[in-house]
C-alpha cells in the first residue's frame, strides 16, 4: 500500500521536527511507494541543521506564499502567525487534489499534518491514517483553542494514534480519545552517528529546547549565578526560541550573568552537544523521551533533570542526577558534575550506551513499520 508521511510546521523546529524529518526523508528515499510531504521552510531548516542532506528522493515540498508575504512586509506577532496559517489551507487543497481519487493509502501525520490532511480525512475515509502525538500538553502544542478543537476532531477521525509516551496516552484518554486506538512507542530515536562525544570534553553546561513554560528556562537562569561562582571556568548555553524569550532575557539581566551565557537558536546542535559535559533538562511534567535530552546523552553528556514523570527511564544514577525543580538543587547537581570530570565521563558513556541500545533509529523505524502494517491489514 502506498504511504504519505506528512510533517508540517511553519513556526519553528524542535525535537519532533528533527526526529520525524530525518526518519521520513530516509524512509521515502528508500521506498518507491512512499512520499514525504513537508513545507518548504521546514525542509530548509532541516537541511541547514544537517538533519537531512537535501538530496533525498520523493520529497514533496509545499511552497509557502503567505509565509513569504509575511516575511516580505515585515509582519510580526499574531498577524504574521495567522497569515502563515493560510498556507495550511493551500496545503489542504493540494493534498486533496492529489489523493482525493487516489487508491487507498496510509497517511502518517505529525504536527500541522493533522490539519492539512483533515479535509482529505473527511472526504476519503477509506484512507488509513495514523497521527503521532508528541506532547503531554495538547493545548500548548496546538497553541490556540480553535486549533485544538480541530486537532481533536482529527484524532477522532484517524484510525490509529501513536503516542510518544504513556503520559501522552493518559492525557489523550482524559480528553475522551478511546484507549484502544492509542499505541505507545518505546521512545524516540537518535542518529548516533551524528550525535557522539567529542574527543575532548569541555566544562560546558547546555540547555536546549523551545522557550516555553513547560521547559522551565527561567528556572535554569536562576541557578546560573551559583554555578558560575562555584565553577568560573564553566560555559553555559541556553539555546532555543519561543514565546518566553523576552522573559529569559530579562532574567539573565537581573541575575547578572548575561555576558557569561550563550543564547539563541542553532539549527545544528552537534558542535555544542559533542564537547558538553552536562546537559540540563527541566521540564515540568516529563523529560521522557525529550529529543534534545536523547541527543545530548548520545553525545556523552551527563544529565541533570527534574524528577518528574518517566524521567527515571532515562536519567538514573548511571546516567545523571535527578533533582527537585528549585535553583539550589539544580545548581548543586551541575556543580558536583563539573567538579568531577571522571564521573561525568563515566555517566556520559553509560548514557550513550543506553541510547544506542534502546533508542536507535532502526528500532524506531521498525516500530513505525509495524504500525503501517497494522493499518494496511
Confidence at residue 252, expressed as pLDDT on a 0 to 100 scale: 96
Confidence at residue 122, expressed as pLDDT on a 0 to 100 scale: 93
Alpha helices for the chain (secondary structure H): 15-30, 40-48, 65-72, 77-99, 113-116, 118-123, 138-142, 145-157, 166-174, 217-230, 245-255, 270-273, 291-298, 327-338, 341-358, 361-376
Confidence at residue 239, expressed as pLDDT on a 0 to 100 scale: 95
Nearest CA among 6, 4, 27 for reference residue 364: 27
Phi, psi of 206 (to 5 degrees): -120, 135
Nearest CA among 296, 291, 302 for reference residue 348: 302
Confidence at residue 139, expressed as pLDDT on a 0 to 100 scale: 66
Q: What is the DSSP letter of 158?
A: S
In angstroms, rounded to a whole number, what is the distance separating the alpha carbons of residues 220 and 331?
Answer: 9
Confidence at residue 143, expressed as pLDDT on a 0 to 100 scale: 64
Q: Is the dihedral of CA 259, 260, 263, 266 positive or negative?
A: positive
The length of the chain in residues reads 377
Confidence at residue 140, expressed as pLDDT on a 0 to 100 scale: 66
Confidence at residue 217, expressed as pLDDT on a 0 to 100 scale: 96
pLDDT tens, position by position, 323-366: 999 999 999 999 999 999 999 999 999 999 999 999 988 888 99
Q: Which residues of the chain have pLDDT under 50?
A: none
Q: Grid cell 546516567 — which residue?
A: 319
Task: Tally Cβ neighbours within 10 Å of residue 368.
Answer: 20
Q: Grid cell 546542535 — which residue?
A: 269
Confidence at residue 56, expressed as pLDDT on a 0 to 100 scale: 94
Give 298-310 as a DSSP string.
HTT-EEEEE--TT
Question: Kindly report the CA angle at 313 between 26 and 331, in degrees rounded to 5?
Answer: 105
Domains and CATH numbers, the chain: 2-189+360-376 (3.40.50.2000), 202-358 (3.40.50.2000)
Distances (CA, A) of 376 to 41, 58, 314, 341, 372: 31, 21, 33, 51, 6
Give 55-90 as a DSSP string.
--SSEEEEP-HHHHHHHHTT--HHHHHHHHHHHHHH
Confidence at residue 166, expressed as pLDDT on a 0 to 100 scale: 86
Amino acid at each position: 500500500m502506498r504511504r504519505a508521511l506528512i510533517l508540517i510546521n511553519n513556526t519553528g523546529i524542535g525535537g519532533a521536527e528533527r526526529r520525524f524529518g530525518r526518519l521520513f526523508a530516509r524512509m521515502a528515499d528508500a521506498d518507491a511507494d512512499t512520499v514525504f510531504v513537508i513545507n518548504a521552510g521546514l525542509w530548509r531548516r532541516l537541511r541547514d541543521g544537517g538533519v537531512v542532506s537535501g538530496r533525498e528522493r520523493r520529497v514533496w515540498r509545499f511552497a509557502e506564499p503567505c509565509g513569504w508575504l509575511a516575511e516580505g512586509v515585515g509582519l510580526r506577532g499574531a498577524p504574521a502567525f495567522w497569515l502563515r496559517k493560510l498556507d495550511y489551507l493551500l496545503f489542504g487543497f493540494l493534498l486533496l487534489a492529489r489523493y482525493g481519487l487516489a487508491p487507498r493509502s496510509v497517511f502518517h501525520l505529525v504536527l500541522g499534518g493533522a490539519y492539512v490532511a483533515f479535509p482529505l480525512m473527511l472526504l476519503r475515509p477509506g484512507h488509513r491514517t495514523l497521527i503521532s502525538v508528541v506532547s503531554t500538553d495538547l493545548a500548548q502544542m496546538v497553541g490556540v483553542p480553535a486549533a485544538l478543537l480541530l486537532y481533536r476532531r482529527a484524532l477522532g477521525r484517524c484510525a490509529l494514534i501513536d503516542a510518544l509516551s504513556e503520559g501522552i496516552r493518559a492525557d489523550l484518554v482524559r480528553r475522551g480519545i478511546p484507549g484502544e486506538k492509542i499505541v505507545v512507542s518505546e521512545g524516540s530515536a537518535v542518529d548516533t552517528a551524528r550525535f557522539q562525544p567529542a574527543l575532548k570534553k569541555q566544562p560546558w553546561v547546555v540547555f536546549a529546547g523551545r522557550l516555553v513554560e513547560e521547559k522551565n528556562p527561567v528556572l535554569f537562569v536562576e541557578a546560573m549565578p551559583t554555578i558560575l561562582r562555584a565553577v568560573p571556568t564553566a560555559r553555559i548555553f541556553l539555546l532555543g526560541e519561543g514565546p518566553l524569550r523576552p522573559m529569559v532575557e530579562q532574567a539573565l539581566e537581573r541575575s547578572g550573568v548575561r555576558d557569561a551565557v550563550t543564547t539563541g537558536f542553532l539549527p545544528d546542535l552537534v558542535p555544542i552537544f559533542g564537547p558538553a559535559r552536562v546537559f540540563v533538562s527541566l521540564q515540568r511534567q516529563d523529560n521522557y523521551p525529550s529529543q534534545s535530552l536523547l541527543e545530548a546523552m548520545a553525545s556523552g553528556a551527563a544529565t541533570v533533570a527534574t524528577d518528574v514523570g518517566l524521567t527515571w527511564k532515562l536519567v538514573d544514577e548511571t546516567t545523571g542526577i535527578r533533582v527537585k525543580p528549585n535553583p539550589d538543587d539544580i545548581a548543586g547537581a551541575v556543580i558536583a558534575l563539573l567538579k568531577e570530570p571522571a564521573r561525568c565521563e563515566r555517566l556520559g558513556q553509560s548514557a550513550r550506551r543506553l541510547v544506542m541500545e534502546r533508542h536507535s533509529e532502526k528500532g524506531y523505524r521498525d516500530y513505525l513499520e509495524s504500525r503501517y502494517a497494522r493499518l494496511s491489514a
